[in-house]
């Protein structure tokens, strides 16, 4: 009889990638991977620690695992396990806490679970190499993620991630090329490059290389149909990278850029390495070169000391920019970061209200951007699990598209003629 195991994942695409790799290795080792609600005998919780709220969510998942199965043994890993293992080891049911670097040896560690809970967490400051867990498939996903880098050197005042993931470390280009080839051969039409700070890719390698050099390699040495670049810092979006995307038939015309604030005084308190003049130049440069490109921004509202005037600066700044998507986050105080100690913490109610105003602006911008595709034919990577005969997929421009089709073709590229725009996104008809 196979041992049943479930995996719960919080946080970023890097964590999602690593959980998928863990699941694949468990299945290869003979485990049966089941849903979290199935109450497995072994539960792995891959935690996030980007905010105090995600710490709480991680602890709640551990407690819930024991409620589902009082005999469950819980293994905790991820960023919260990395920075605060002592806060997790004594929770009921926790048998093992392992750090991010130890994920590569988790199978061996599982075989050595003892009656006495123990911690296996190394010092991320000593990590020198990026070690991506091998992964050949993504169950229930139409797109595949490839982790090209880990860690971050930025040390923004609100962020704990450099302590949880270590300094920036890149995978060798040949290893990335090999993984992309395998996933393309497995049938994935779109590959998403992901990591913690992918704009810094290659600077730590010998010889040094860059994100731009990597995407050129992937275009020239693989048969990938669609390549999507994950979040890139504004200071690392070069004119040559933008030009490469503009000329490419493979790289999706989509940029995801962390702005965080449109107020120079807030950016300074955040320890961000640019001002709004620089940021505007980057975004307008992309738009000038690629007028139909999708440009998404990350924004934090309610940062300590953020006044109404500073928030208004952010609102007006974003309103003026040719951006298409907004990802808005109310500031969450994270112990262990400088920002957690700042005076003039903004109340949660104020941050929530500001976030709602910015999200409404983002919805207006996305709608205005989407309207230009009405009447056009767009390529869509179809996803699974849509009810009532409707199919859903994602366009190259990061827009959801819905259409009717007699059969599901999840994981395949199809062409859709856009007829209208609804509250859920583009709607159209399948082009046979």
Task: Write out pLDDT tens, residues 286-297.
Answer: 999 999 999 999
Q: Is 73 helix (H, G, I), strand (E, B) or coil?
A: strand
Q: Is 378 buried (19+), middle (13-18) or exposed (0-12) by CB count in 10 A?
A: buried
What's the CATH architecture for 4-122?
3-Layer(aba) Sandwich (3.40)
Tokens 């790289």 belong to 251
Band of pLDDT at residue 385, cut at 50, 70 and 90? low
CA distances from 12 to 54, 224, 231 (A): 11, 24, 11
Residues forming beta bridges with residue 415, ordered by sequence position: 379
Three-state DSSP at 267 gives helix
Nearest in space to 282 (alpha carbons), one of 295, 301, 272, 292 = 295
Sheet strands (E) in 104-253: 118-120, 143-147, 149-150, 169-170, 190-194, 226-229
Residue 192 has pLDDT above 90, yes or no: yes
Give residue limits of the domains in the chain: 4-122, 143-371, 377-430
Length of the chain, in residues: 432
Q: What is the pLDDT of residues 408-418, one digit of tens each?
A: 787 889 999 99
CA 193 to chain centre: 10
* Cα–Cα distances in angstroms (integers) from residue 117 to residues 90, 111, 201, 360, 412, in the given order: 8, 14, 37, 47, 45
* pLDDT value of position 1: 57
Where does the pLDDT of residue 113 fall: very low under 50, low under 70, confident under 90, or very high at 90 and above? confident
pLDDT higher than threshold 80 for residue 432:
no
Does residue 273 have a pLDDT over 90? yes
What is the rounded distance in angstroms from the CA atom of residue 238 to the CA atom of residue 381?
Answer: 28
Which percentage of the chain shows pLDDT scores above 70?
A: 97
Give the Å distances, CA to CA, from 153 to 31, 150, 196, 432: 37, 10, 10, 49
What H or E segment, with its residue span, contains residue 258? strand 254-260
Q: How confident is the model at residue 110 (pLDDT cuts 50, 70, 90)?
A: confident
The tokens 């040094």 sit on which residue? 208
Examine domains 4-122 and 143-371 and report if their fold is the same: no
- Chain segment 416-425, per-residue pLDDT in tens: 999 999 999 9
Q: What does DSSP say about strands 226-229 and 190-194: parallel, antiparallel, or unpaired?
A: parallel
- State pTM to two decimals: 0.91
Helix H or strand E encompassing 162: helix 161-165
Which of residues 132 and 4 earns the better pLDDT score?
A: 4
Distance in angstroms (rounded) separating the CA atoms of residues 196 and 85: 21
CA separation for the pair 89, 118 (Å, rounded): 7
Mean pLDDT of the chain: 92
| 3-class state of residue 2 by DSSP | coil
By percentage, how much of the chain surpasses pLDDT 90?
78
Give tens-digit pLDDT for 240-266.
999 999 999 999 999 999 999 999 999
pLDDT, mean of residues 140-164: 89
Residues paired with residue 299 on neighbouring β-strands, in sequence order: 260, 328
Confidence of residue 133 (pLDDT cuts 50, 70, 90): confident
For residues 374-380, average pLDDT: 97
User: pLDDT value at position 408?
Assistant: 76
Taking each helix axis from N to C end, the angle separating 276-289 and 239-247, rounded to the nearest 10 degrees, works out to 20
User: What's the first-to-final CA gap in the chain, in angstroms?
Assistant: 47
pLDDT at 193: 96
Q: Quickly list DSSP for 379-412.
A: EEEEES--STTEEEEEETTS-EEEEE-SS--TTS
Between CA 191 and CA 426, with CA 326 as vertex, the angle to 5 degrees is 65
* Cα–Cα distance, 87 to 154 (Å, whole number): 26
- CA-closest candidate to residue 124, choices 176, 75, 160, 96: 160
For the four alpha carbons of 256, 262, 268 and 274, in that order, the dihedral sign comes to: positive
Q: Please say whether the dihedral angle defined by the alpha carbons of residues 298, 155, 10 and 125, taken in this order, is positive or negative.
A: positive
* H-helix segments, 322-392: 348-371
Query: Which residue in 186, 142, 151 sits closest to 169, CA to CA?
Result: 151
Taking residues 186-206, what's their average pLDDT? 94
Asked whether 170 and 205 are in contact (CB, 8 A), the reply is: yes
Note the pLDDT of residue 386.
66
- Say how far apart CA 4 and CA 31 lie, in whole Å: 6
Split at pLDDT 50, 70, 90, the class of 135 is confident
Q: Which CATH architecture has domain 143-371?
A: Alpha-Beta Horseshoe (3.80)
Cα–Cα distance, 198 to 210 (Å, whole number): 9
pLDDT band, very low/low/confident/very high, at 387 (cuts 50, 70, 90): low
Give the pLDDT confidence score for residue 52 in this predicted structure: 81
Q: Which residue has the higher pLDDT, 260 or 386?
A: 260
- The alpha carbon of residue 315 and the mean position of all alpha carbons in its chain are separated, in whole angstroms, by 24
| Alpha-carbon span 63 to 320, nearest angstrom | 46
Q: How confident is the model at residue 140 (pLDDT cuts 50, 70, 90)?
A: low
13 pLDDT tier (thresholds 50, 70, 90): confident
Q: What is the rounded average pLDDT of the residues 73-101?
A: 93
């Amino acid at each position: 009889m196979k041992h049943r195991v479930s995996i719960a994942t919080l946080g970023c695409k890097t964590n999602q990638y690593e959980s998928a790799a863990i699941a694949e290795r468990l299945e290869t080792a003979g485990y049966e991977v089941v849903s979290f609600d199935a109450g497995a005998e072994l539960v792995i919780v891959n935690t996030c620690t980007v905010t105090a709220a995600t710490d709480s969510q991680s602890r709640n998942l551990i407690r819930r695992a024991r409620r589902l199965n009082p005999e469950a043994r819980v293994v905790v890993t991820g960023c919260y396990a990395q920075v605060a293992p002592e806060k997790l080891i004594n929770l009921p049911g926790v048998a093992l806490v392992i750090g991010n670097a130890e994920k590569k040896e988790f199978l061996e560690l599982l075989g050595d679970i003892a009656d006495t809970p123990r911690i296996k967490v190394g010092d991320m400051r000593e990590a020198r190499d990026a070690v991506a867990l091998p992964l050949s498939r993504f169950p229930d996903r139409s797109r595949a993620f490839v982790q090209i880098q880990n860690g971050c050197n930025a040390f923004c005042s609100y962020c704990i991630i450099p302590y949880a993931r270590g300094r920036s470390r890149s995978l060798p280009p040949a290893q990335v090329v090999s993984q992309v080839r395998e996933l393309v051969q497995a049938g994935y039409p779109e590959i998403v490059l992901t990591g913690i700070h992918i704009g810094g890719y290659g600077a730590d390698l010998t010889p040094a290389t860059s994100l731009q050099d990597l995407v050129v390699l992937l275009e020239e040495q693989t048969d990938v149909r669609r390549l999507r670049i994950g979040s890139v810092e504004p200071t690392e979006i070069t004119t040559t990278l933008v030009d490469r995307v503009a000329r490419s038939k493979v790289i999706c015309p989509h940029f995801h850029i962390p702005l965080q604030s449109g107020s120079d005084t807030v950016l300074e308190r955040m320890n961000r390495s640019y001002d709004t003049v620089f940021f505007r130049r980057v975004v307008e440069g992309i738009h000038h070169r690629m007028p139909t490109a999708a440009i998404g921004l990350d924004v934090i509202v309610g940062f300590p000391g953020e006044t109404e005037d500073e928030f208004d600066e952010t609102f007006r700044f974003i309103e003026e920019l040719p951006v298409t998507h907004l990802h808005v986050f109310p500031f969450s105080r994270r112990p262990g970061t400088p920002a957690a100690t700042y005076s003039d913490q903004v109340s949660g109610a104020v941050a929530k209200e500001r976030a709602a105003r910015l999200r409404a602006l983002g919805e207006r911008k996305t709608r205005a951007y989407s309207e230009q595709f009405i009447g056009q034919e767009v390529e869509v990577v179809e996803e699974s699990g849509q009810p009532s005969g409707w199919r859903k997929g994602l366009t190259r421009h990061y827009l959801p598209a819905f259409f009717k089709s007699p059969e599901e073709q999840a994981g395949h590229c199809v062409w859709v003629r856009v007829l209208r725009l609804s509250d859920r996104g583009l709607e159209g008809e399948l082009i046979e």
